[in-house]
Amino acid sequence: MTTIYVLEGRRIHTLADFWLVIGEAVNGPGGYFGRNLDALNDCLRGGFGTPEDGDFTVEWHDHAVSRRALGYAETAGQLEIVLRRCHPTNRPSVAERLAAARAGEGPTVFDWLVEIFEGQAPGALKLR
């Protein structure tokens, strides 16, 4: 039997909101699902909140609201954090991605999340 998790897109205005909403969708009120892209990647493979057999669907309701909120401004903010914390050898590439986000170009936080879903749980994400 397929497990269905629902993300209420109207509640997702920042990446921090996404972590909260997916944690609650998968693990109930106050549920934790990781708070970084690597944790999401791991969790979607199954066994870390999602069924180990991979038999689940994530319905992202009102995803257009989230897509706008997780657009270039949020992406630039997240990349600023990464730039401050990353290894010096990674700074040029992060700075390049940050410049692109500030110019309204390149992938957004929303795109990052969708890419992880597609890579780890192909077909599991349903944008509604």
Q: Where in the chain are the domains?
A: 1-70+108-128, 72-107
Dump pLDDT digits (tens) for 59-88.
999 999 999 999 999 999 999 999 999 999
So what's the architecture of 1-70+108-128 in CATH?
A: 2-Layer Sandwich (3.30)
Predicted local confidence at residue 43, as pLDDT: 87
What predicted TM-score, i.e. pTM, was given to this entire model? 0.94
- Measured between alpha carbons, how far apart are the two ends of the chain, in Å? 21
How far apart CA 40 and CA 116 sit, in angstroms, is 8
Tokens 């970084």, residue? 36
SS3 track for 15-64: HHHHHHHHHHHHHCCCCCCCCCHHHHHHHHCCCCCCCCCCCEEEEEECHH
Q: Report the pLDDT value the prediction gives residue 54, as an integer from 0 to 100.
A: 85
Identify the pLDDT of residue 125.
97
What pLDDT is recorded for position 49? Answer: 80
What is the model's pLDDT at position 113? Answer: 98
Residue 78 CB partners (closer than 8 Å, separation 6+): 15, 109
Q: Read off the pLDDT of residues 1-36 as tens digits, 9 standing for 90 and up.
A: 899 999 999 999 999 999 999 999 999 998 888 899
In angstroms, rounded to a whole number, what is the distance separating the alpha carbons of residues 98 and 105? 9
Torsion, Cα 66 72 74 79, to 10 degrees, reads 140
Q: What is the pLDDT of residue 48?
A: 76
Q: What is the mean pLDDT of the chain?
A: 95
What would the two tokens of residue 8 be?
């209420």
